[in-house]
Amino acid sequence: GAFMAAFAAAVGEGGPVFLADPHWGEPERVALRRLMAQRASAVAAGAAAARGWLMIPSGGSSGEIKFARHDEDTLSAAVLGFARHFGTQQVNAIGLLPLHHVSGLMAWMRCVLTGGSYRPWDWKRLERGDAPRLPVDGDWFLSLVPTQLQRLLAQPELIVWLRQFRAIFLGGGPTWPELSDVAAQAGLPLVLSYGMTETAAMVAAQRPD
C-alpha cells in the first residue's frame, strides 16, 4: 500500500521516476544518485535519449546497477501482449513479489491497465498456510520464483489453493525438472516464463495447457 501510494504521487509530480531496492547499501545508493543526475541532465538538454520517464532497476549480467527506461506506451504494450497471449480481457493477481522489481510491478500494472483486482499478500503469511480467498469468477494469476513454489507444494491445502489460478508464472531463476514434475502431478497451471526488464514483459511463456 505504501509503495503504491508513493508511486502514484511520484508519477503525478511528473518527470523521471526511479524505482529502487530498499535493501541497497551505500555503494548502490551512490550509483543511483549518479544515474539520477545523468538522467536529469539528459531531460534538461532535450536529448532524444530522454524518452522514458520510468526507470526500472536491473542488475544485469555484470552485477552493476542499471535501469531500463519505460513509459505508458511500453507498459501498455507489454500488458496488451500478455492479455492476448493468455486470452483474457481482465487480469486479477495476488502480489507476492516486490513492486520495485519488474516482475512485481508488472503484475500490478496488468491489473491496473485491464481494470482487474490486485491484492498484495505477504509471502511469510502465505508460507504459514494463510492464503487469500479467491473469487470464483475471473482470471487470477500468480507469479512465483522456484523456491517459493517448492515450499508451497509441501502443504496440501495450499496445493488446492494454487489450482484455482488461471496461470502460475515461474521465473526469476532456473526451474529443476523434479519441481516441474511435482507441480504437473499436482495439476497446477504452471507457466514457465522468461522475461526482461528491458521489455517489461515476458519474452517467452508457455500456456498452462
pLDDT at residue 132, as a whole number: 96
Q: How far apart are CA 159 and CA 198, in angstroms?
A: 33
pLDDT at residue 65, as a whole number: 87
pLDDT at residue 49, as a whole number: 61
pLDDT at residue 58, as a whole number: 86
pLDDT at residue 61, as a whole number: 47
pLDDT at residue 63, as a whole number: 63
Phi, psi (5° rounding) for residue 29? Answer: -70, -35
pLDDT at residue 100, as a whole number: 93
User: How high is the mean pLDDT in each 10-residue block of the chain (209 residues)?
Assistant: 91 91 90 89 70 84 79 95 95 95 95 96 96 93 96 96 96 89 95 90 88
Instruction: Please report where in the chains the cell 544518485 appears, as a residue.
Output: 33
End-to-end, the C-alpha distance of the chain in Å comes to 34
pLDDT at residue 64, as a whole number: 81
pLDDT at residue 48, as a whole number: 57
